[in-house]
Amino acid sequence: MKKLRASALITGMVAALSSMPALAQSEKCLRVVGTDWASEQQSVDPLINNHVADLMRLTTIYEKLVELDNGYQPIPVLAESWESDAGGSVWTFRLRKGVKWHDGRDFTAKDVVWTLKRVLDPKLESGAAATLSMLDPEKLEAVDDHTIRITTKSPTVELPILLSSKYTAMVPDGMSREMMQKKPVGTGPYMVDEFVPGPKFLAKRNPNYWKPGMPKASCIELSGITESVARVAALQSGQVDLLIFLEPSATATLRNDPNIKVMNSPGGSVMTLSMWVDTPPFDKPQVRQAMKLVVDRQKMVEAALLGIGSPGNDNPVPPNSPDAYRTDIVPRDVEKAKQLLKEAGHPDGLSVDLYTSDSISTMVPIAQLYQQMAADAGIKVNIIMSPADSYWNEIWLKRPFITSTWGGRPTAEALSIAYLSKAQFPETHWYRTDYDELIAKANGTVDAAERRKIFQQAQKLLAEEGGVIVPAFASVSAAMRKTCSGYEPNNNVNNNDFSGFHCD
Amino acid sequence: MILRLVGLRFVTAALTLLCVSAIVFAAVEILPGDVASNVLGQFSSETARAALREQLHLDQPALQRYFLWLGNVLQGDLGIALSSRRSIADILWPRITNTLILSGVAVLLYIPLALLPAVAQALNRNRPLDHALSAVTLVLASIPDFLLALLLLILFVVVLPLLPAVSIVTPSTDFLGWFKALILPATTLAIVMAVYAARMLRDNLIEVLEAPHVLMARLRGFPEWRVMWIHALPNAIVPTLNVTALNFTYLAGGVVIVEKVFGFPGFGSLMIDAIRFRDVPLVEITVLIASCVYIFANLLADLAAILLNPKLRQARA
């Protein structure tokens, strides 16, 4: 009995070992792996796009009118060109010709109207309804098959940039969520005949794809591996071709592997430590300034992000952006910090609670480093680790001093989303009409140079008086086998493009 | 007498499951966050979440929802998963099959992993092999299963590139793919279960090998292998069978960790994801199934103890 079992096991192992080359996959499907995958919560509706797995799936099937490059400038995708009238309220978009949906129909302006109406529909729970609130669903006009005219409620100089929101991916006219769940139809590089939630997402080449010569592979297979060690091992052993959204520790391991190429986006996500400016002790501007002066920003990048990022200047516009209000990095000044604390009535230092979580892995080292840096000025930071899966519901926006992170965004959106008085996510309780007025003025200024100057004024105000500490920007990283090419991570994790990706 | 025992146990099991269902329902209600905020994400508005809750009938009071759900389940309707709106029965079947296969292979590996070291140790008592194997089983018993899974992964995927890093099987995976996918997770589970049984079996075997009937067998000239496998082992194995049945209860929970590490799409990861998304109907059904496994395995353990111990059986004779 024992002998039979042993010999069966051995034969099995020999068979497995002798077919080792099979590990490198005989079929030509591209295998892309993200950081997470849910068994049942799998969306094929662009309006529901909140998890890494959804992002991967949706960017494979659907496309938007416009995308943003790493400078947050719009590049034409399904819209070829656009212009507005002098006031910035009437926009005309000319759509690309010859684009077909996965079911063979032509892409026309009627599809754009349907898509945008869905985005604005309060019953459909879209995350972009707020940012695109200046659009009127009745003022979306399909002038002809390839021209659409949009009239906004107020002058919106940067409408093309706003239309690059991940939620505005184009869906066919008349398609409802129920229809999508069975068979999603998009214009993207890969397509499916039927959708069934499973541990992997397999899509085949779209033969009618509008980019010439693309996609280069016959199919793509998406999945997610939560365990970091397993993910890295899978890439190194050749079981997968591309890993996206890597954390810094994984990039450190993979950099030394001769078969792997690690890529980092030039800019990235904003890492923030946010204080409520209406809550003691942060209600005194000197305290806020002191909290900012203790940060050694370059050290934050090197130690917390393992060098994969760039330093920040306490506002969500990166210092290397042409829109930045200053290009040098704010230096650390512990003496000045202590002096400011004394002025504010805290001669013996300060004690504060900082909430964080490993829901985003980079938040924890940032919090820990901040604790050490602040201690030098007598600021005692007590780190409170919170459970990952409830952090964004229970702690974020609900505690006076937290860590948070925001995807890379164009200047106007970055300065508005958390810092306007009416912002949907007031991370710092910063309600300043002078700041609001600056942003509104900039949004209505057509001249680009003028607009930039106003945005710089707003940044200065936010950086000097606001409640947000931005020590660094974390690059978006990806790693692929050296035999592959055609993929680059974008500053904004939501701008994901697999169309050119292929492996030999 | 056995029939009475089993009958009584079934009644207790049903009552236990009822309590479990109520406790799980309350627990998920108390947890912060709900399906709406998890499905729609952190950037969704309160109106959007309220709209989704209304759609999913989550605006009704908890007690009412619980009894509605209970009524459906007792009639055989397992319900619909809130996050994907798919029928739970459809979701469960492939996942349970996967985990049953994984558990089956784990149990098959467990038997030799428990028997062989114990027999080798008993035959070489107090010699270097005995001490070495004791040390090995002790170390393995002290390593948490999560860590053991990762160590095996690093050893057989990175250091010695022999096996795949992840075991994501799909309906299109062939037999060889399944085989390769199962090795690491099944071995992890088997080792965790086997170390306790091996240590216990060693001690029992040594004791039995000194019993009079074994001495008698040796005096009668039976070869050593016959003495071991026919005369000694069946007696020594009784307490180990009890441990074995209890090990199967470990499978109900331990399989969750192993599935997550290796990405195996089984029942355990379904349960974890359901909890993460606060998908109440799915959490309920998966937890109840896991409880059933646990209760059934315990019942097996008790039955095994009674059947193999004639003294207990004849108590009422």
| Residues comprising chain B, all counted | 317
If you ran DSSP here, which 8-state letter would residue B80 be given? B
What 3-state class would DSSP assign to A223?
strand
CA–CA distance, B220 with B214 (Å, rounded to integer)? 10
Contact state of B31 with A390 under an 8 Å Cβ cutoff: yes
CB pair distance less than 8 Å for B41 and A49: yes
Which helix (H) or strand (E) is A92 found in, with range? strand A90-95
Which helix (H) or strand (E) segment is A412 a member of?
A: helix A411-416
Q: Note the Cα A42 to chain centre separation in Å.
A: 18
CB contacts < 8 Å between A and B, how many? 157
Of A92-96, B117-121, B303-307, the range with the highest mean pLDDT is A92-96
Q: What's residue A26's pLDDT?
A: 36
pLDDT given at position B313:
57
Q: How many CA atoms lie within 13 A of B146 on its CB side?
A: 6
Residues of chain B contacting residue A424, judged by C-beta atoms under 8 Å apart = 43, 45
Alpha helices in A245-389 (DSSP H): 248-254, 285-293, 297-299, 334-343, 363-375
Mean pLDDT of B193-211: 90
Q: Is B150 in the A-facing interface, judged by CB distances under 8 Å?
A: yes
What is the pairing mode between strands A379-385 and A350-356? parallel
Which run of H or of E encompasses B242? helix B233-262
Contact A20/B85, CB-based, under 8 Å? no
B83 contact A CB<8A = yes
Largest CA distance in chain A: 88
Q: How many CB atoms lie within 10 A of CB A17?
A: 10
Mutate to test the interface with A, among B37, B40, B230, B260 (most CBs of A within 10 A): B40
Percent of chain A beyond pLDDT 90? Answer: 71
Amino acid A19: pLDDT: 42
Amino acid code (one letter) for B130? D
Q: Which residues of B are less than 8 Å from A18 in CB distance?
A: none
Distance CA A250, CA A264 (A): 12
**Residues 6 or more apart in contact with residue A301 via CB below 8 angstroms:** A307, A308, A309, A310, A311, A472
Do residues A168 and A193 lie in contact, with contact meaning Cβ atoms separated by under 8 Å? no
Q: Are A276 and A401 in contact (CB under 8 A)?
A: yes
User: Can you tell me whether residue A129 is helix, strand or coil?
Assistant: coil
Of B63, B32, B37, residue with least CA distance to B50: B37
What pLDDT, on the 0 to 100 scale, is given for residue A469? 96
pLDDT of residue B317: 45
Across the interface, of A51, A223, A425, the residue whose CB is closest to B168 is A223
Residues A382 and A391: their CA atoms lie apart, in Å, by 17
User: With left for phi above 0 and alpha for psi between -120 and 50, is residue B57 left, alpha or beta?
Assistant: left
Beta bridge partners of A468: A274
Using an 8 Å CB-CB cutoff, list chain A residues near B154.
Answer: 229, 233
Are B287 and B24 within 8 A, CB to CB?
Answer: yes
Task: Give the contacts of A68 (CB within 8 A, at least 6 positions apart).
Answer: A74, A75, A161, A164, A410, A490, A492, A495
On whether the CB atoms of residues A271 and A318 are closer than 8 A, the answer is no
Of B31, B84, B166, the CB nearest to A41: B84
CA distance A14 to A374: 59
- Cβ distance of A227 and B150 shorter than 8 Å: yes
Question: Is there a contact between A226 and B260 if contact means CB atoms under 8 Å apart?
Answer: yes
The answer to whether A75 touches A152, Cβ cutoff 8 Å, is no
CB contact under 8 A, B157 and A237: yes
If DSSP codes are grouped into helix, strand and coil, which group holds residue A305? Answer: coil
**ipTM of the complex model:** 0.82
Residues ≥6 apart with Cβ < 8 Å to A446: A86, A88, A157
The predicted structure's pLDDT at residue A138: 92
Which chain B positions have a beta carbon within 8 Å of A123's beta carbon? 51
Contacts of B311 (CB under 8 A, 6+ apart): none
* Mean per-residue pLDDT, B37-44: 77
Taking the C-alpha atoms of residue A202 and residue A262, their distance in angstroms, rounded to an integer, is 25
pLDDT, mean of residues B135-163: 91
| B154 contacts chain A (CB < 8 A) | yes
Contacts of A425 in chain B (CB under 8 A): 43
| Most confident by average pLDDT, A82-96, B221-235, B285-299 | A82-96
Return d(Cα B83, Cα B279) in angstroms, integer. Answer: 6
Chain A closest-CA separation from residue B314 CA (Å): 32
What pLDDT is stored for residue A259 in this prediction? 94
Is the Cβ of B159 closer than 8 Å to some Cβ of chain A?
A: no
Which helix (DSSP H) or strand (DSSP E) does residue B239 occupy? helix B233-262
**CB of B156 less than 8 A from some CB of A:** no
Report in angstroms the alpha-carbon separations of B287 from A68, B28, B33. Answer: 45, 12, 19
Closest residue in B to A17 (Cα) is: B162
Lowest mean pLDDT among A27-41, A448-462, B42-56, B272-286: B42-56
The encoded tokens of residue A356 equal 């964080």
Query: Hey, are the CB atoms on A41 and B273 less than 8 Å from each other?
Result: yes
Helix %, strand %, coil % of chain B (to 5): 80, 0, 20
Which of B29, B37, B168 should be substituted to probe chain A, the one whose Cβ sees the most A Cβ atoms within 10 Å?
B168
- Rounded Cα gap, residues A287 and A276, in angstroms: 12
Q: Which of residues 260-299 of B touch A (CB under 8 A)?
A: 260-263, 265, 269-270, 273-274, 276-277, 279, 282
Q: Which amino acid is at A30?
A: L
A68 and A410 in contact (C-beta within 8 Å)?
yes
Two tokens at A245? 């959204």
User: Quick count: other Cβ atoms within 10 Å of Cβ A418?
Assistant: 22
DSSP, collapsed to helix, strand or coil, labels residue A465 as: helix
Q: What is the pLDDT along chain A (504 residues), one digit of tens a residue?
A: 445 455 555 554 444 444 443 333 335 799 999 998 988 889 999 998 888 899 999 999 999 999 999 888 899 999 999 999 888 899 999 999 999 999 999 999 999 999 999 999 887 867 777 778 889 999 999 999 999 999 999 888 889 998 998 899 999 999 999 899 999 999 999 999 999 888 999 999 999 999 999 999 999 999 999 888 899 999 998 999 999 999 888 988 899 999 999 999 988 899 999 999 999 999 999 999 999 999 999 999 999 999 999 999 999 999 988 899 999 999 999 999 999 999 999 999 899 999 999 988 899 999 999 999 999 999 999 999 999 888 988 899 999 999 999 988 899 889 988 999 988 889 999 999 999 999 989 988 888 899 999 999 999 999 999 999 999 999 999 999 999 999 999 998 888 999 999 998
Select from A87, A64, A44, A291 the least CA-distant residue to A177: A44
Interchain pair A223, B263: CB under 8 A: yes
